[in-house]
Structure 1
């Protein structure tokens, strides 16, 4: 079945996820949907110093938004901020240094952010990693899982109270089309069994993010949740984590701005939030989270088990003072 999934997914990707796929889809876009002034609205973007996160921050800053860049590397974050401020003349761009693989630090960051800010209109979970060998963090968590799944879960959970203070609050998580080849596996969240494959671990994390988004939408009715696939974009992360894929596809990849288009659209337009909460978007349209006949659908019991496991792990890594 995995061969079937991978084959169908790659053919779909060549048709839809490439630059030509974006250009074809863009013919149906309504440009005015991004003609929005978001002055006074507060946006927090993780992984915002490069690639799709940076492109998204730039587009939001152009439209007057208050932009909080959450990054791991201070030097690169400050350079991204300077570039965004210089290009947009928007001075309300702020840098926060945070390692999304460290649960206690995330809890502490969220607590401090809520003390310093009276609102958060949009949370964009963009930070991610693809480590191609199994490594453990200082907290003895598998690095991909800690960053992509648990980190996203904790930051979102911790900031829900601040989001709920705002009308039209949104949480958008950057997933990946690779999740289509994965069925949710709640029995081995940290890839302790069998041979480790970083690409498949990443895809599993992205499937978990889709499930989290669907579950959050059921729980938090006052916040609009969505996730999206940026397509195959030419970013530093793709070049470093998937060198073979990049070498094969580099002439067909989307630009970071094209990859960020749906993310920006979900963050600032009113059209995306007219759709039900909890959906998965690609090129400004909700699309299926499963390939035809791929047998990747999880049961309600499995989905509930994922959320309970994440809640337990998040609680176990919560500072006593938070």
Structure 2
């Protein structure tokens, strides 16, 4: 058996350092010797929580399962790992200091089988691996990242369309993920409102934000699905600070009522995620006589955001995250036919135009709110395997299903924009995989100043 022992000091507060390190689903973010990590048990962190961790050694990969054996937050945790010929027991102690937290990490590692014969000669190698891992943890809990800058190469790939489209796939996500900085933030004391929170990207976003400690308000149309989502998120994260709001966001009256309830019930709102959307296969109108995609995908987030902006400003620093789609790239703004009343109806075009409109609003809000502590950004989840894609775009789903992202991968940038310190330093951008991308690639699709002014006028008139 080889014992490794390292001590580091980080500026992160004790609670943050413990929660981030104890959750071994995060280990791939800071240990360069780990290629994959995920929590494979349900429920909050505690004794019995299990993690799958893939460790690399040269060209080989070893899958290990770690189990929390002792759990004394926020001061001590013991994990036991087993996989291949490796057995490890990691004891991690946390002590508050005047400048942050001291982390005392001890790992007892035993090698079995043929690898065990070489164990006496591997001390230096294991020590180097241990030092690299703790150096990575120290960086994760110490360094404040800067928001990624614009890239000429990335912009060129977007304009060439096919390279940009490759980036929408699972392969694009996995390629970019290798270069990301860790996300050690916690959201205790912050309130997040997530629309469309019962399935797909919204459901994952709500769970991830709850896992970071936020109070999460789940907004959806179906009371039964909201309750199911709440139960599942509590069971997964242990965070019971969830609120449910039933509202049909296709109806102006219900959006106004929702905003009133949110302001009455929550003195502070720090995060608003406009995720709810529909992609109709045929033209329909709401009970208020408004075309469904326009009402749900554009009029609703515009109105909800406008009504909540004063509360977000009072709660600053605050974030607004608008969930868009790559289909936006193919659409401009026809402000004379926002509801597709003329010609043959195409649900994909209606959806794309609504998302283009939401990108325009993102840029306008960023200008309006500059200097107030409220940042506004839009994001593209890539091509993700969600109920909306399977139900509304069956042909696209059949063609691309082998390269579609998981909902967790699609929602990652939503969570990053809502939580990461560096994401709070930039506003008005369009993001994919934590990187800024062009918001328009075809001539005439960004919207002229006149079109932008007309859009706001039309939204104001329809919401009156």
Decide: shared fold, TM above 0.5.
Answer: yes
> Partners in 2 of 1:207 and 1:9 — Cα distance?
19
Q: Which string of whole-angstrom CA distances, capped at 9 and with x for unpartnered residues, describes residues 189-239 of structure 1?
A: 100111110011101110000001111112223210010000000011110
| Mapped partners of 1:198, 1:265: distance in 2 | 30
Relative contact order, higher structure (CA 8 A, sep 6+)? 1
- Whether the aligned pair in 1 keeps the contact of 2:430 and 2:438 (CA below 8 Å) is yes
Cα distance in 2 between the residues matched to 1:183 and 1:132: 20
What is the rounded CA distance, in whole Å, between the counterparts of 1:10 and 1:145 in structure 2?
26
1:295: how far off? 3.4
Give the equivalent residue in structure 2 for 1:308: 457
Residue in structure 2 matching 1:285, options 417, 435, 449: 435
Match of 2:386 in 1: 235
Deviation at 1:294, TM superposition (A): 3.8
Q: Measured at CA, do residues 82 and 262 of structure 1 come closer, stay the same or move farther in structure 2, by a change above 3 Å?
A: same
Native 8 Å contact 1:9 1:180 kept in 2: no
Q: Could you say if the C-alpha distance between residues 8 and 164 of structure 1 is closer, same or farther in structure 2, counting changes exceeding 3 Å?
A: closer
Match of 1:258, SS state, is helix
SS where residue 315 of structure 2 aligns? coil
TM-score, with structure 1 as normaliser: 0.92
Match of 2:212 in 1: 63
String of CA shifts for 1:131-178, please: whole Å, max 9, x gaps. Answer: 011101110000000000001111101111111111211111001111
254, 268, 272: which one aligns with 1:105: 254
Name which of 179, 183, 192 aligns with 2:332. 183
Give the drift of 1:13: 5.0
Give the CA deviation at 1:11: 2.1
**Is this contact kept in 1: 2:185–2:421, CA < 8 A?**
no
> In the TM superposition, what is the alpha-carbon distance from 1:128 to its structure 2 partner?
0.3
How much is the aligned-residue C-alpha RMSD, in angstroms?
Answer: 1.4
CA-to-partner distance for each residue in 1:36-89, whole Å, 9 max, x for gaps? 111110000000011111111111111111000000111111111100000000
5+ residue gaps, structure 2: 1-157
Query: What is residue 249 of structure 1 aligned with on the other side?
Result: 400
**Structure with greater Cα Rg:** 2
CA contact (8 A) 1:186 1:305 kept: yes
* Contact 1:9 1:181 survives alignment (8 Å): no
8 Å CA contact 2:379–2:413 kept in 1: the answer is yes
For the 8 Å contact 1:43–1:67, the answer to whether it is kept is: yes
* Number of residue pairs the alignment of both structures matches: 305
Structure 1 residues 134 and 13: CA distance shift in structure 2, 3 A: farther
CA change 1:103–1:254 in 2 (3 A) is: same
1:217 maps to 366
Contact 1:234 1:253 in 2 (8 A): yes
| Among candidates 184, 191, 201, match of residue 35 of structure 1 | 184
Offset at 1:10?
Answer: 6.1
Say which of 326, 340, 343 aligns to 1:194: 343
Is 1:45 aligned to residue 211 of structure 2? no
User: Would you tell me which structure has more helix in proportion to its own residues?
Assistant: 1
Q: Name the structure 2 match of 1:267.
A: 418
- Relative to its length, the structure with more strand (as a share) is 2
Distance 2:165 2:382 in 1: 10
The change in CA–CA distance for 1:23 and 1:290 in structure 2 (over 3 A counts) is same
| Structure 1 pair 167–8 and aligned structure 2 pair: CA distance change class (3 A) | closer
